[in-house]
Amino acid sequence: SEPLLEVKNLKKYFPIKEGIFKRTTSHVKAVDDVSFTIGKGEAFGLVGESGSGKTTTGQTILRLTEKTEGEVWYKGQNLHDLSKEELRKLRPSMQLVFQDPYSSLNPRMRVGEAIGEALLEHKLATKEDVRDKVLEVMELCGLAPYHIDRYPHEFSGGQRQRIGIARAMALQPDFLVADEPVAALDVSIQAQIINLFSELKEKRGLSYLFISHDLSVVEHLCTKIGIMYLGSLVELAPRDELFANPLHPYTKALLSAVPIPDPTVKRERIILKGDIPSPANPPSGCRFHTRCPYATARCEEEVPAFRDLGQERYVACHIV
Question: CA 231 from chain center: how many Å?
Answer: 14
Instruction: Give dist(CA 276, CA 273) in Å, integer.
Output: 9
Nearer to ligand SF4, 133 or 267 (CB): 267
Nearer to ligand SF4, 223 or 296 (CB): 296
Contacting range for ligand SF4; rule: CB under 6 A; set: 36-44, 171-179, 270-278, 283-291: 283-291
Q: Work out the number of other CB atoms within 10 angstroms of the CB of residue 269.
A: 10
* Beta carbons of 244 and 238 less than 8 angstroms apart: no
Residue ranges in 239-268 that form contacts with ligand SF4 under rule CB under 6 A: 248-249
Contacting range for ligand SF4; rule: CB under 6 A; set: 139-147, 150-158, 253-261, 286-294: 286-294
Nearer to ligand SF4, 27 or 318 (CB): 318
292 is a contact residue toward ligand SF4 (CB under 6 A): yes
How many residues belong to the site for ligand SF4 (CB under 6 A)?
13
289 is a contact residue toward ligand SF4 (CB under 6 A): yes
Distances (CA, A) of 233 to 126, 253, 285: 44, 15, 15
Show the DSSP H helices in 151-285 as ranges.
157-169, 187-204, 215-218, 239-244, 249-256
Nearer to ligand SF4, 181 or 249 (CB): 249
DSSP-derived letter for residue 67 is -
From 231, 233, 304, 314, residue interacting with ligand SF4 (rule: CB under 6 A): 304
306 is a contact residue toward ligand SF4 (CB under 6 A): no
Handedness of CA 284, 290, 295, 297 (dihedral sign): positive
233 is a contact residue toward ligand SF4 (CB under 6 A): no
* Beta carbons of 209 and 59 less than 8 angstroms apart: no
From 268, 294, 311, 313, residue interacting with ligand SF4 (rule: CB under 6 A): 294
DSSP-derived letter for residue 146 is G
288 is a contact residue toward ligand SF4 (CB under 6 A): yes
Q: Which residues bind ligand SF4 (CB under 6 A)?
A: 248-249, 286, 288-289, 292, 294-295, 299, 304, 317-319
